[in-house]
Amino acid sequence: MSYEIKGIRKIALLYTGAVVWTPTYLLPFNIEESMARFGLSENFAGWLASAVLLCLALSIIISGRRLATLNKRSGTVIAAAVAIASTCAMFSDNFYIFVAAKLIFGIALGVSCVCAYGVIGHVKHPEKVTAQVAQSMAVIFSFAMYIVPIVNGKIGNIGVDAVQLGILAMALLLGAFMPSAINANEEGVARNAIKSNAVRGILASAFLLYVSQTALFGFAAEVATTRGVEADQLGILFMVNAAAQLPVGVFVTWLGDRCGLFKPIAFGLVLLIACSLGMYCVGGKWAFLVSTALISAGATLVGPYMFAALAHMDSSGRSTATCASAINLGLAVGPAIAGTVFSVAGLHAVGWLSVGLLVVPIFLSSVAIRQFTSKHSRAAIA
């Protein structure tokens, strides 16, 4: 059953939904920290970052099995407390404690993700709430990416952990106001929904979308040097890219489901295809700048409607939580796939790889939404 969520409970939901993406947004700083503090190579530092995202994704899959009976408020508070404890352990100079803390941190955020997106699956207009989560992400992480270098300059590379600790402390405070959203009667609905071809089509689309996202960002610095973009300009460009989620989130909140679910998904994916070509395949500094600035805007348009489609297909909320797992799996494998393609065929091939990854979700989401709409119409007539 869908319900309205307002006030402090909504703020808690939006903040929790945003904070679970901390490893993704702080990824460059985390890699830099592990290399500077423990002398890791770029390869091993990258694998450690991917391991955190993988733990997060697997945690979502495992804890998502108990979504229907999971108290979202208690789960959020406990997960935030564990994430804070593991972040404190990251200040240790012992490498093994540092690695273990990183992995536990990923597991804790996976539980938070299930709680947040499990609730989103129950609200009215989930596309609007998901868009508002993206707006929260833009505010939180634009500020974080600005402040981390300043804190690092004062206390060293552990500055990123200090900023992360502050973000999590607020998550713990707000977690006490999260909705509980327990509905044990929907446990069977959750099990059956994951087996649906329509749900699987949307989950596969989300996975491919974010493989493409990290493939594009993974080698943006290399492309920038070929287009005459300086390092400081690239940093500002990444901040603009994160901030671009704000106006798109406002637009999605206004649009709602007036145009259905598929049209915004298709438009956003076409925009991302254009960005892929502009970044990697079309020469010129301005093509690169504009395309890079619009990547998160395109994903912010597509993502909420994918979550909304899953919320309509699965009333238990498990599918929306599982979608976050699919996204994190995509984020984890994207750089590896792009790196392999880059080493074999060069930068242009990375752009075409992204285009191919984005064309498939247009087809999959179209078929999935059409299947669900047709089935729903037949059920209504019967």
pLDDT in tens, 71-106: 888 989 999 999 999 999 999 999 999 999 999 999
Task: Report the percentage of the chain scoring pLDDT > 90.
Answer: 30
Please say whether the beta carbons of 316 and 325 come within 8 A: no
Which tokens in the block code for residue 187?
Answer: 């446990």
Mean per-residue pLDDT, 197-215: 89
φ/ψ (deg, to 5) at 193: -65, -40
Which tokens in the block code for residue 21?
Answer: 């993406």
The dihedral region occupied by 228, where left means phi > 0, alpha psi between -120 and 50, and beta the remainder, is: left
Residue 1 lies in a domain: no
Angstrom distance (rounded) from CA 31 to CA 45:
5
Nearest Cα neighbor of 196 from 375, 28, 348 is 375
- Helix ranges, the chain (H): 7-19, 22-25, 27-38, 42-64, 72-89, 95-120, 126-155, 159-175, 187-194, 197-218, 220-226, 231-243, 245-255, 262-276, 285-293, 295-313, 318-345, 347-381
What confidence category does residue 2 fall into, taking pLDDT thresholds of 50, 70 and 90?
Answer: low
Pick the range with the lowest mean pLDDT from 132-141, 185-194, 216-225, 245-254. 185-194
Q: Indicate the angle between helix axes 318-345 and 187-194, nearest 10 degrees.
A: 30
Residue 362 lies in a domain: yes
Residue 335 lies in a domain: yes
Task: Specify the pLDDT at position 182.
Answer: 56
Nearest Cα neighbor of 186 from 316, 71, 67 is 316
pTM to 2 decimal places? 0.78
Q: Which of 51-60, 232-241, 357-366 has the highest mean pLDDT?
A: 357-366
CA angle 196, 198, 203 (to 5 degrees): 95
Task: Specify the pLDDT at position 189.
Answer: 47
Please say whether the beta carbons of 309 and 376 come within 8 A: no
CA of residue 123 relative to chain centroid, distance:
19
Mean per-residue pLDDT, 98-122: 90
Residue 41 lies in a domain: yes
> Does the structure show a pLDDT above 90 at 180?
no
Residue 130 lies in a domain: yes
Q: Which of 62-71, 187-196, 288-297 has the highest mean pLDDT?
A: 288-297
Pick the range with the lowest mean pLDDT from 111-120, 144-153, 178-187, 267-276. 178-187
Angstrom distance (rounded) from CA 28 to CA 338:
17
Domain encompassing residue 130 = 7-381
Task: Specify the pLDDT at position 95.
Answer: 94
Residue 324 lies in a domain: yes
Which tokens in the block code for residue 140?
Answer: 């939180």
The rounded mean pLDDT for the chain is 84
Give me the CATH number covering residue 119. 1.20.1250.20
Task: Specify the pLDDT at position 3.
Answer: 65
Task: Specify the pLDDT at position 15.
Answer: 95
Place of tokens 């993406």: 21
φ/ψ (deg, to 5) at 3: -140, 160
> Does the structure show a pLDDT above 90 at 234?
no
Residue 109 lies in a domain: yes
> Does the structure show a pLDDT above 50 at 351?
yes
φ/ψ (deg, to 5) at 327: -65, -45
Angstrom distance (rounded) from CA 123 to CA 223:
41
What does the pLDDT look like over 259-308, one tens digit per residue? 888 999 999 999 999 999 999 988 788 999 999 889 888 988 998 899 88
C-alpha distances out from residue 149 to 17, 42, 141, 154, 167, Å: 25, 19, 13, 9, 16
Mean per-residue pLDDT, 191-208: 79
Task: Specify the pLDDT at position 311.
Answer: 82
Angstrom distance (rounded) from CA 300 to CA 248:
7
Angstrom distance (rounded) from CA 382 to CA 377:
9
Residue 2 lies in a domain: no
Look at the chain and report how many structural domains it folds into.
1
Q: What is the DSSP letter of 124?
A: S
